[in-house]
Copies of this chain bind each other. A is one copy, B any other.
Amino acid sequence: MSLGVLEIRKVVVKVTGKIFDNENGVDVLASLSSLISSKADEGYRFAVVVGGGRRARDYIELGRKLGLSEGQLDAVGIEVSRVNAILLAFTLGPRAYLPIPRSIDEFLRAWTSSKVVVLGGLQPGQSTNAVAAIVAEMINADLILNATDVDGIYDSNPKKNPQAKLLKEVHIKELEEMLSDKELAGYYELFDRVGLNIVKRSKIPLVFLSVYNTENIRRAINGEEFVGTRIVY
């Protein structure tokens, strides 16, 4: 599958926090950093939104025991996603903007530099998927790449069902139904409702693919054939 987008120049990459969870992530991070650097040198602009991963969940669990509200727990998770973000930003070296933006105002300021902007969460009550959609809309991004730990969206849970089939295209309405269907939504991380409303109203090209296959991500950015799921409007 290729995207068929005429010219991709501004890319938002949503990176699952899972790659920060353990030492195996080092290679993925290095490889991803290397890809983004080389494409940035070719003139592409990147906003990279990173999730919180296991450490965010650990902290949230700790906070829950201390009696924090749901909003406060989200805020703690957001801080952890920012630690992940700073780690990736330092790995990108002089190509990355610093410090990590903590609000839309700061993101916009960061974006007016010529740097790769890495960020974590922004606000309680929304996931980092929503952040990816929000910043994509603000900068008129040509593409959102949602890089998760599976190859895209399947017709059933690929971790339980070895026969699960990767869907090449999913209509935004189908994605919307999947999000309403809790059982489905529960087993792998897709997109939240805030983000969905945004990509829907602005018809932002959106692709789900694996974070572990950097070469595949490169192909998607290049507008070449790649493995993954494309949302159609």
Interface residue ranges, A against B (CB under 8 Å): 20, 23, 25-26, 29-30, 33, 55, 59, 61-63, 65-72, 75-76, 79-80, 82-83, 86-87, 90-91, 93-94, 96-99, 102-106, 108-109, 111-113, 115, 122-126, 130, 133-134, 137-140, 193-194, 197-198, 201-202
Contacts and interface: CB of A to CB of B under 8 A. Distances in A.
A133 B105 CA distance: 21
A124 B98 contact: no
A23 B76 contact: no
Contacts of A140: 69, 93
A179 to B, nearest CB: 11
Contact of A76 (B90, B103, B124): B90
B102 A124 contact: no
Contacts of A70: 137, 198, 201-202
A133 B137 contact: no
A83 B59 contact: yes
Contacts of A125: 130, 133-134, 137, 194, 197-198
Contact of A65 (B26, B103, B138, B197): B26
Contacts of A122: 104, 123
Contacts of A113: 112-113
Given A112-B98, A123-B122, A90 B66 contact: yes
B71 A137 contact: yes
Nearest to A117: B112
Contacts of A138: 69, 71-72, 75, 124
